[in-house]
Amino acid sequence: MHYVEGPDAGPPLLLLHGVLRNGRDWEPLLSELIREWRVIALDHCGHGGSARTPGAYHVADYARHAAAFVRETFSEPVTVMGHSLGAMVALSVAVECESQVAAIVLEDPPFHTMGRDIAATPYQALFQGMAEVTRRGGSVTEMADGLAAIRLSETQRLGDVRDRASLEFSAACLAQVDPEVFVPLVAGRWLDGFDAAMLWPRVACPVLLLQGDPAAGGAFTDADASTAIRSLRDQRHIRFAGTGHQIHRERTQEMLAALRDFAR
């Protein structure tokens, strides 16, 4: 598995990105994080510079690989911060590697918003369009053009809601994604073998829950947040009103402040 490591400025912090991204997705936070932490940004299998593992792109597979990485890499307890897919993986790692995880930070974990319920959300059309762009390939410019043309509804394209810089960043990430990653995701089978309800009560470390606003595109539903809050022994929950799924990009400074306060 490919990862990038920063200077030894403090305790270890493992960053786990969302699906179809890679470790570079954390760039808005990195200049601040590397002053206080030893930051390790990992690429999930099938993403970025990590190996491709066709047929093993369910959330449970990503979690298994990340747990192996934690066991092999860290000699002291590590804080694990994940976004989206990475948040679900961090939840599993906290249980599977209990003695090696100091705390976890979960940024807008989608659970069945991108699982069995995906057909009822705009994510299915988005991922189907992204899958076609990824399989077609081409230059970053050509792939960004393809992303812009993806229809989210009869009246709206992806290019209507994302600026050019965002489209080009997504295109650069997709150029390093195994097209097989999309298979369980689009089919609504992504969470097969992964049961968050069984994991929450087993988490022993402190948990920071960062929730986007479902009305603004956040994927962590109020029902899932309530389940987590009831089940966890030691948790802090922050809901970012008016903010979508990408909290670390939309509310960078507030997220950094929340992390610092949590880590005290």
Shared domain for 21 and 133, answered yes or no, is no
7 burial type by CB count under 10 A (0-12 exposed, 13-18 middle, 19+ buried): exposed
210 & 248 share domain: yes
> Domain range spanning residue 234?
3-114+191-263
Q: What is the CATH number of the domain that holds 81?
A: 3.40.50.1820
Give the Cα separation of 235 and 203 in Å (integer): 10
pLDDT interval class at 264 (50, 70, 90): confident
CB contact burial 35-44 (16+ within 10 A = b; e otherwise): eebbbbbbbb
What is the pTM (predicted TM-score) of this model? Answer: 0.97
34-72 confidence digits (pLDDT tens): 999 999 999 999 999 999 999 999 999 999 999 999 999
How many domains is the chain built from?
A: 2
Q: Determine the residue type at 223.
A: A
- Asked whether residue 129 falls in the same domain as residue 223, the answer is no
Residue 15 sits in the same domain as residue 92 = yes
21 and 152, same domain (yes or no)? no
| Residues 134 and 20 occupy one common structural domain | no
Same domain, 107 and 204: yes
pLDDT digits (tens, 9 = 90+) for 87-136: 999 999 999 999 999 999 999 999 999 999 999 999 999 999 999 999 99
208 with 89, same domain: the answer is yes
